[in-house]
Amino acid sequence: MDHFLYRDGVLHAEDVPLTEIAAEVGTPFYCYSTATLTRHFRLFDEALAGTDHLVCYAMKANSNQAVLKLMAELGAGADVVSGGEYARAVAAGFPGERIVFSGVGKTRAEMRAALEGGIRQFNLESEPEMEVLNEVALSLGKVAPVTVRVNPDVDAKTHEKIATGKSENKFGIPISRAREVYARAAALPGLEVVGIDVHIGSQLTELEPYGLAFDKVAALTAALRADGHTIRRLDLGGGLGIPYERSNSAPPLPIEYGALVKEKLGHLGCEIEIEPGRLIAGNAGILVSEVIYVKSGEGRDFLILDAAMNDLVRPAMYGAHHDIVPVIEPEPGVEPHVYDIVGPVCESGDTFAKGRKLPPVGPGDLVAFRSAGAYGATMASEYNSRPLIPEVLVKDGQFALVRARPSFEEMIARDTIPTWM
> Which positions ≥6 away from 281 have C-beta within 8 Å?
32, 37, 40, 61, 62, 67, 373, 374
Q: What per-residue confidence (pLDDT) applies to 242?
A: 86
Q: What per-residue confidence (pLDDT) applies to 248?
A: 61
Instruction: Render pLDDT for 391-407 as a digit per residue (tens, 0 to 9).
Output: 999 999 999 999 999 99
The class (CATH top level) of 4-31+282-413 is mainly beta
Q: What per-residue confidence (pLDDT) applies to 231?
A: 97
CATH topology of domain 34-280: TIM Barrel (3.20.20)
Among 31, 56, 270, 346, which one carries the catalytic annotation? 346
* Cα–Cα distance measured from residue 349 to residue 4, given in angstroms and rounded to the nearest whole number: 28
Q: What per-residue confidence (pLDDT) applies to 195?
A: 98
Closest by Cα among 42, 53, 8, 64 to 404: 64
Spans of the chain, pLDDT less than 50: 158-159, 161-167
* Per-domain boundaries in the chain: 4-31+282-413, 34-280
Alpha helix segments (H runs only) across 335-403: none
Instruction: Render pLDDT for 25-70 as a digit per residue (tens, 0 to 9).
Output: 999 999 999 999 999 999 999 999 999 999 999 999 999 999 999 9
Catalytic site includes residue 346? yes
* pTM as predicted: 0.94
DSSP letters for 157-207: -S-GGGB-SSTTSSSSEEGGGHHHHHHHHHH-TTEEEEEEE---BSSB--S
* Cα–Cα distance measured from residue 177 to residue 164, given in angstroms and rounded to the nearest whole number: 17
